[in-house]
A and B are shown apart, each in its own frame.
Chain A
Amino acid sequence: MAQEEYPDAAGASQPAESPAARSIKKSGVLWGELAIKSWLASCSFISIVTTAAIVILLLSETLNFFENVSPGEFFFGTTWTPLFEPSSFGVLPLVWGTLIVTIGAALIAIPTGLASAIYLSEYASDRMRSTIKPVLELLAGIPTVVYGYFALTFVTPVLRNVFPDIQVFNALSAAIVVGIMVLPMVATMSDNALRAVPISLRQGAYALGATSYEVTTRVVVPAGLSGVMASFLLAISRAIGETMAVTLAAGQTPNMSLSMFESIQTMTSYIVQVSLGDTPSGGVAYQTLFAVATLLFAITLVINIISQMILNRFREVYE
């Protein structure tokens, strides 16, 4: 049998014709290779250089800012009026505005997103899944300014019917649209995390007489938890950085009010306000832009690093 299957076996073992005829030495410096390699490398350095330049610019302007304003006033002051007299540079109202919009958005996006992910990965038929996933991705592709417009022209009027004393610009509608905006991110990332849980674990659980609900909540979600958590953190980071929708929906009133019916201002919408306004460059008011941007950058960077650490742990679980 074996001989019939490999009729060439004997022939192949004979040495090929004069193998030494072709040299294996380099035929010269490979300039073409070198040029391509350098070009590719320089492309990849563009993003590094840009990032470094932005960070250096932010930090140096922030340092200039702190020569004029004490860090104590910036970080702990509760009044933010940098653009008019008497000026005050307490950033907390902006942080607060960002915080309540982010928390509101997270309260919407996290439970709904996780529930959609569970439905998609554990319950939906392949057909249902292949319908829902593209719609979610479409939702993720809508420009954020459209969400802002949607908040102003649709969400707020609807809210008005329920809460008559809500302001035109309010934190609640901003939180709702940002929640809807980051929902697809939570849903698709969590879905991927849950689907990465091996089928064999589900089968093991079913074979012990577990119901679908028990398998999902007690085995699949805990096993995929790090990926799910990472999706939450990235969604939160995205909500913190969200700009256009929040600027349009929540207005520009730095405010530490507990009420979500009032206009607030987030860190990002302050940056929009100053960038679009007629603030002269070089002054303290102008420098606040960089101080706020640095703070925003630091917050999202920390959250992204944490979520990356969680994701890395996740990768090791089954390998």
Chain B
Amino acid sequence: MSQFPDSTLAEQNLQMSKKSVLELRNVNIFYSDNQAVNDVSFNIRRNKITAIIGPSGCGKSTLLRSLNRMNDFVDGARVEGELIFSNENLYGKEVDPVEVRRRIGMVFQKPNPFPKSIYNNISWGPLINGYNGSTDELVERSLKQAALWEEVKDRLHESALNLSGGQQQRLCIARALAMEPEVLLMDEPCSALDPISTARIEDLLFELKSSYTIVIVTHNMQQAARISDYTAFMEMGDLIEFNVTKKIFTRPAMKRTEEYVTGRFG
């Protein structure tokens, strides 16, 4: 099955690959005997936001979690194919998964701050990884990047668990940014948040785009349309269509895509 029915797009993709941070080539993911992702290939471009959309159970979160080897913690999960990142296959025998996660960060669906102070939530990752600059500066910079600084600057040493859900999620983003990752993966980061917190995080993603590459899984098509540059539409583990977001939402090549983005199913 052709994943890129638009031949010019395939050519574009080829040219893009130099600007790509991550290249997925024929990725298959299995949970024990069940195949969750079937033969998916596309490229993730630097300093762009790539959204992965699709109905529940389509494999989008599974695919996202394979990008920084978080599936390693799921018993029976197996990844085949190639995920090329800085000239290496992420699943190559010589690759250190810990190093992969240092460079490809992740924000989860539910905010998961550590039961530590706001300050220590930010500084923890860099410190265990040998950061020896000024942690005060690092904390301030990361919190400013995540648009949380003004709200918490006077209570940095209070527990992060006292923050609201939206603030906790921005703290988790700040925590990931403190590691200065090359790619930031986000697994439905707004699904547990109210509309105002969601809008703040979407604004934030726009600003982060200039310095980071973002891959976001979202259930919310309006969100994908608003914030992303590229969109991958998945269904039943297959990549149905990958294209620039505008095209996916205005002139999708596949009928299934059109039906999904216009809300006829899913």
Do A and B truly interact?
A: yes
Chain A interface (Cβ within 8 Å of chain B)? 126, 198, 200-211, 214, 218-219, 222-223, 317-318
Interface residues of B in 189-213 (CB under 8 A from A): none
Quick check: is B70 within 8 A (CB to CB) of the other chain? yes
| A to B CB contacts below 8 Å, 12 in the list | A200-B110, A200-B112, A202-B73, A204-B108, A204-B172, A205-B114, A208-B105, A208-B124, A208-B128, A208-B129, A211-B98, A214-B128
Chain B interface (Cβ within 8 Å of chain A)? 68, 70, 73, 75, 98-99, 101-103, 105-106, 108, 110, 112-116, 124-125, 128-129, 161, 172, 175-176, 179
Contacts A207-B105, A209-B179, A214-B128; A201 near B98 (Cβ below 8 A) = no
B115's partner among A211, A214, A223 (CB-CB below 8 A) is: A223
Please tell me if the beta carbons of A209 and B73 are within 8 angstroms of each other in the complex: no
Contacts A209-B99, A209-B179; A222 near B115 (Cβ below 8 A) = yes
Complex: A222 Cα to B99 Cα, angstroms: 24
Please tell me if the beta carbons of B112 and A198 are within 8 angstroms of each other in the complex: yes
Please tell me if the beta carbons of A204 and B99 are within 8 angstroms of each other in the complex: no
Complex: A202 Cα to B114 Cα, angstroms: 9
Please tell me if the beta carbons of B115 and A218 are within 8 angstroms of each other in the complex: no
Contacts A214-B128, A218-B124, A218-B128; A207 near B114 (Cβ below 8 A) = no
Complex: A211 Cα to B72 Cα, angstroms: 13
Identity of the chain A residue whose Cβ is nearest the Cβ of B101 in the assembled complex: A209
Complex: A190 Cα to B93 Cα, angstroms: 35
Among A201, A203, A207, A223, the most chain B Cβ lie within 10 Å of the Cβ of A207
Identity of the chain A residue whose Cβ is nearest the Cβ of B65 in the assembled complex: A203
**Nearest CB in chain B: distance from A203 CB, A:** 6
- Measured between beta carbons, the chain A residues less than 8 angstroms from B128 are 208-210, 214, 218
Identity of the chain A residue whose Cβ is nearest the Cβ of B109 in the assembled complex: A200
Please tell me if the beta carbons of B68 and A207 are within 8 angstroms of each other in the complex: yes
Identity of the chain B residue whose Cβ is nearest the Cβ of A225 in the assembled complex: B115
Identity of the chain A residue whose Cβ is nearest the Cβ of B99 in the assembled complex: A209
- Measured between beta carbons, the chain A residues less than 8 angstroms from B70 are 203, 206-207
- Measured between beta carbons, the chain A residues less than 8 angstroms from B106 are 203, 207
Please tell me if the beta carbons of A206 and B115 are within 8 angstroms of each other in the complex: no
**Nearest CB in chain B: distance from A227 CB, A:** 13
A207's partner among B101, B110, B161 (CB-CB below 8 A) is: B101
Complex: A223 Cα to B161 Cα, angstroms: 12
**Nearest CB in chain A: distance from B28 CB, A:** 23
A317's partner among B73, B98, B115 (CB-CB below 8 A) is: B115
Please tell me if the beta carbons of A209 and B114 are within 8 angstroms of each other in the complex: no
Complex: A219 Cα to B102 Cα, angstroms: 17
Please tell me if the beta carbons of B102 and A204 are within 8 angstroms of each other in the complex: no
- Measured between beta carbons, the chain A residues less than 8 angstroms from B98 are 209-211
**Nearest CB in chain B: distance from A84 CB, A:** 57
Please tell me if the beta carbons of B102 and A209 are within 8 angstroms of each other in the complex: yes
